[in-house]
């Protein structure tokens, strides 16, 4: 890719609490993964997670204020309270240090995180916060809020005729998969186990083709072949990739992005495999995040039966 690809940063004078909290959560989670196999690396990323969380909490600012270029695409609609709570909870899980649990409880109250979220996504972390609190804290409040949150998505949102819960029009599969993952996690925690397991698996089954066709590149019947993805749309090297050709050519993508989850249908199950339709046929890291986690949860639940 030869176009300009600028990078941006947050720092002391231009902070961004969402980015710091989210990065702290990711690094704290990574420290758990590497704890036994590479203790030195685990300690290194955990130290960075602590530093980032402290920075995000003490130097509070919306990241789209410090980086205004993101406002038209990735503005922080939910604010930074959910990310700070998310980061504190992951640090508590990684360290067992009550300081972080206390901070998470403080964030819960300060930012009124019981308000039902409209999605579980890169922006709205609340449903994940409810799940982590339920895992880590015995207070019935958090358990009840997780139950209420899942019920909110399962019962208050419309469904497509084929059975996909329709949370948001842009990347509908992505949003359904992320909530499905939390439902499967709740099932693992013994919360409405049969209902949550069946509901979560049903959402993933829809994406795999149980109702209409597969939405997963390279898998199942009538899978998408023209997903909106720049590299996948380009021919093999050493040919130069003409962006206009890559976007508009009528054939399948020259490269297969195996396992990528396409955005998803509209509210009537309508889906056209059109490379130019980035609303319904885009692929992205956050699309596959909840979907992949849900698949792992389904495998784990299946092996326990």
Which sequence positions are flagged as catalytic? 273, 282
Residue 164 · residue 172 · CB < 8 Å: yes
d(CA 223, CA 207) in angstroms, rounded, equals 10
Residue 210 backbone phi and psi in degrees, to 5: -65, -25
Return the closest-CA partner of residue 219 out of 208, 228, 231.
208
């Amino acid at each position: 890719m030869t176009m300009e690809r600028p990078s941006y940063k947050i720092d002391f004078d231009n902070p961004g609490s969402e980015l710091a909290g989210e990065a702290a959560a990711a690094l704290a989670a990574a420290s758990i993964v590497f704890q036994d196999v590479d203790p030195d690396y685990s300690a290194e990323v955990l130290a960075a997670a602590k530093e980032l969380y402290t920075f995000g909490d003490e130097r509070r600012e919306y990241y789209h204020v410090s980086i205004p270029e993101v406002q038209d695409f990735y503005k922080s609609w939910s604010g930074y309270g959910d990310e700070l709570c998310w980061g504190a909870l992951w640090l508590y899980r990684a360290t067992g240090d009550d300081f972080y649990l206390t901070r998470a409880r403080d964030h819960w109250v300060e930012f009124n995180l019981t308000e039902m979220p409209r999605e579980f996504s890169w922006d709205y972390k609340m449903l994940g916060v409810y799940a982590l609190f339920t895992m880590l804290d015995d207070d019935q409040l958090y358990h009840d809020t997780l139950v209420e949150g899942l019920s909110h998505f399962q019962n208050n949102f419309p469904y497509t005729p084929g059975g996909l819960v329709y949370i948001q029009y842009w990347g509908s599969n992505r949003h359904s998969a992320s909530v499905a993952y939390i439902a499967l996690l709740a099932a693992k925690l013994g919360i409405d186990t049969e209902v949550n397991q069946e509901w979560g698996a049903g959402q993933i089954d829809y994406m795999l083709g149980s109702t209409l066709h597969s939405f997963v590149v390279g898998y199942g019947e009538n899978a998408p072949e023209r997903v909106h993805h720049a590299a996948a749309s380009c021919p093999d090297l050493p040919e130069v990739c003409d962006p206009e050709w890559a976007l508009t050519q009528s054939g399948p993508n020259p490269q297969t992005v195996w396992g990528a989850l396409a955005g998803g249908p509209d509210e009537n199950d309508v889906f056209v495999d059109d490379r130019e339709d980035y609303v319904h046929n885009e692929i992205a890291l956050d699309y596959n995040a909840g979907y992949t986690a849900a698949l792992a949860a389904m495998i784990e639940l299946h092996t326990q039966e």
